[in-house]
Structure 1
């Protein structure tokens, strides 16, 4: 007897399509029989982890037979010190994606809705749909907006709020556009949202932002009990392979999330590496400096070639290649350069390119020249 196990799944799950991460280097080289490829697809830090984090991992290898601290005491204490909050305000996650999923499990479901912007991070609709909730997608600013092309339009998001909305997702900066919202705009939005609606501000790329008017929303937690801020160690801290992130929120919200959190959702190595990474601000500063130089390098290359791009404050640049991006992406793969097409975000002519080392950035530029010349 043949059983349709998809039909047995929950309604929201049946129509889901799995999240597609950036293609690994090993898979590309195995498929095409090439070598010395570079990956500029997943917004990873080209400098890798802090040497202090690597040493912390090495020092703990003999203890891997033991379960991790399920409460993450040392990491929570270090984060509490950094953010000047109580440890009861912190929820640890297997990357910040895990925290987003906890939010969905705790606050979304049939008869409830989530609001997020078009072109926003792909996990928001995945979480919403998987929980059986309704997704209310606000239109973004148009491509020709003078300061924020494809960016979040908070007025459009505000217009979708009603009594069914339990969660609002705001990415600041946003992936894959690299756009950001200034302090006054976010604060005004928070003042107008019902206290019964949780506002999740995803700050995965916060450490890269150099704009003076960019808000650290964790400073507003006391003023807005319905505010939750997510952060990750996958980006500037270079710990993507260990999967560690966290949320900052009112203690009552953190209590709810910890009720659905798995007890050992973060590993011993991830916790210890994260503590060490927080203590190496020189590595963070070097990562910021490299990223700023790389953004300038790619931006100037695009300008010289007449290619439009979205001004970014993250560690990536989304480039309009002036034609369907899929064939350009495929051709770049054959050049040994992995980037990210973002047609799934409603941007079929854009490629998102992670900022790498100067040499890697130049290799992408040269490969793109060859691909576009052939096209």
Structure 2
């Protein structure tokens, strides 16, 4: 059998639809526990990198999943009837205003595919979710990054950017913001939405809303038909492994999104699990309280270690590694933590090379983090 030759002459003349796709780098996920175990032989691993719920998920979810195991040969309900009904009740919207997705990232892709083209501009903030500039490149659109203000969104500058770029089609706003944890006030957001043309879609990414209920901007949907709110079951609800999210919008926007999305983009297991998770708001309250308590404890520990941090309204905290020794950097601290079985998220890819993003865990995990971090800093100093 003749082996194929790996020469350019044998390559098909394939080119991407847009040159900007060539500039894309694959999305870097948080390091899996299994990968760390393979690399360093560490069996007792604490993962505080991907903003997952350290309490897991509601016990009602397990029962709902079990009930679906005998039906895995059947396609899911492509319309997600029961989950949509539950979401409509919780969010006080019509079912026709809801679009389901394979996680919130799926919905962001659907939004960009539905509304942005190569002649359009997409606006987002510096130090915001790294998916936003990726979406612009995927669509061949012009990505416009607005400098952050105190690590958060500068809405006045973003409004001016919309005015300066009449081809703007979409604006992405994460609230609370990932990875910085900053929060925008209702009045600020409403003023921003009111300032832009109705032809510009304002996408509010509320992935962490359950940890910060005061960030809920559902009321904007009643006033502005160009607002889209995207949420997920991957964070507080603890269903990151199942991939399910949803968008709330005007009926015309939802109608377009549902034309674009894949017909079975949410599995039957995920649909059942999400409905069960949504019904257990006591678990969400428990998760929020654990997050608040452990956030305060970690802030005190970082203060004691002389490490700066940004006040966060989500389930993670961004910590600055700024020590007066050349060999101590965020990268070196990250590596040392990995070698001792603690996974956090470096932020060099966000343009924040001196910072680490740390998910808020349960007390035991957080104590392990601080003890390990203290040991590393003490040894290096």
TM-score, normalising length from structure 2?
Answer: 0.94
2:231 maps to which residue? 231
| Aligned residue runs from structure 1 range 65-214, under 5 A | 65-141=73-149, 149-161=150-162, 162-209=165-212, 214=214
1:50 maps to which residue? 58
* Superposition deviation, residue 23 in structure 1: 0.2
Q: Distance in 2 between matches of 1:197 and 1:133?
A: 14
**Structure 2: gaps of 5 or more residues:** 1-6, 323-327
Q: 2:337 matched to 1:332? A: yes
2:3 maps to which residue? none
Q: Distance in 2 between matches of 1:6 and 1:68?
A: 39
Q: Distance in 1 between matches of 2:349 and 2:109?
A: 20
1:222-255 deviation line (CA, Å, top 9, x unaligned): 2100000001000000000000000000010011
* Superposition deviation, residue 34 in structure 1: 1.6
| Paired residues of 2:209 and 2:215 also in contact (CA < 8 A) | no
DSSP 3-state at the match of 2:319: strand
**Structure 1: gaps of 5 or more residues:** 142-148
1:358 maps to which residue? 363
* Superposition deviation, residue 4 in structure 1: 5.2
Say what the alpha-carbon RMSD is for the aligned residues.
Answer: 1.2
DSSP 3-state at the match of 2:376: helix
2:377 maps to which residue? 372
Q: 2:38 matched to 1:39? A: no
Q: Distance in 2 between matches of 1:193 and 1:6?
A: 42
1:72-106 deviation line (CA, Å, top 9, x unaligned): 11111111111111111000000000000001101
Q: Distance in 2 between matches of 1:96 and 1:114?
A: 18
Runs of 4+ in 1 over 6 A off after TM superposition: none
Q: Distance in 2 between matches of 1:339 and 1:57?
A: 30
| Paired residues of 1:41 and 1:340 also in contact (CA < 8 A) | yes
Q: Rate the CA distance shift 1:6–1:50 in 2: closer, same or farther, 3 A.
A: farther
* Superposition deviation, residue 263 in structure 1: 0.2
1:344 maps to which residue? 349
2:260 maps to which residue? 260
1:151-204 deviation line (CA, Å, top 9, x unaligned): 111011111103211000000000000000001000100111100000000000
Structure of greater Rg? 2
Q: 2:16 matched to 1:9? A: yes
How many pairs does the alignment contain? 365
| Paired residues of 1:7 and 1:14 also in contact (CA < 8 A) | no
| Paired residues of 1:6 and 1:14 also in contact (CA < 8 A) | no
| Aligned residue runs from structure 1 range 281-296, under 5 A | 281-296=281-296
1:61 maps to which residue? 69
DSSP 3-state at the match of 1:116: strand
DSSP 3-state at the match of 2:338: helix
